[in-house]
Structure 1
Amino acid sequence: MNPATEPGRRPAPDGSLLLDDQLCFALYAASRAVTARYRPLLDELGLTYPQYLVMLVLWEQDSISVRDLGAALQLESSTLSPLLKRLEAAGLLRRERRPDDERSVAIRLTDTGARLRDRAITVPLAIGDAMGLSPEQDALAKQLLRLITTNVAES
């Protein structure tokens, strides 16, 4: 039995170097497991996980600036630009200069990109089933992860 998971085990003192005591490792392992579970679902849609995140934003808000998209996804434009180019080459979105500001680029779904939403609707359901959380646990997990993100970003 793993001593870190034994019933009644007390929390490790601050400064523990035990792997199982590291919140960062729990986050890392969970992230890898969840992303791996997404892979076959997204393969059916022809998307990678980062491309799926871009599409989620666009399905929520068609026509968004590259700057606002980057802010929503917490991605730098150097990371976002290749994603957008691949999605544009796949016919899912188009990049257009904004008529009111030629320096700004708006991202818009194509009809093909908008229709892909109907096929993607099963993805969150499958992931939710795989996670096996109650609605309350799901809400709490999101709340705690957003708190961690905010706290670490501000420190």
Structure 2
Amino acid sequence: MNSLIKVLFSSILLMISVAPGYAEVILKDLQGQSTPFSELKGKWVFINYWAGWCQTCLDEIPEFNRFYQQHKNDPIALYAVNFDALPLFEQKNLIRRFNINYPSLLNDPATDLRLGDISGVPVTFIFNPKGQLVKTLYGGQSVDSLNKVMENQS
């Protein structure tokens, strides 16, 4: 009986440890840097989906560049995600062409972060320092609109 209880207990622990809600989300950027999402706790996290064919996306890139520069010494992480999931070399070419100065993710974290089905761009997901999704912004953004989210949530 004791061995049966041990087996059941071990099985339950194994199921819990591999359940989707307990898996660690790893954000891997185009430079090969991997960052566990849990290490971003204590920071505001902005994840912006964009595409090269989306004029509104291209128009907001300078705003995200300014936001990134403005907050480079603050507890803020900003990531770009290419909506079209292009091959690495194509993504790098677009990033260079459109002058994206903030990190771009190689992997799309939407499923792991439970962001839902992303059907259009641009869209920006914002997580508070506790790691909670607090805002989803649709359409083009400005430095002011991004800063306001943090001000309104504080």
TM-score by length of 2: 0.26
Higher helix share: 1
Higher strand share: 2
Which protein has greater RCO, CA pairs closer than 8 Å, 6+ apart? 2
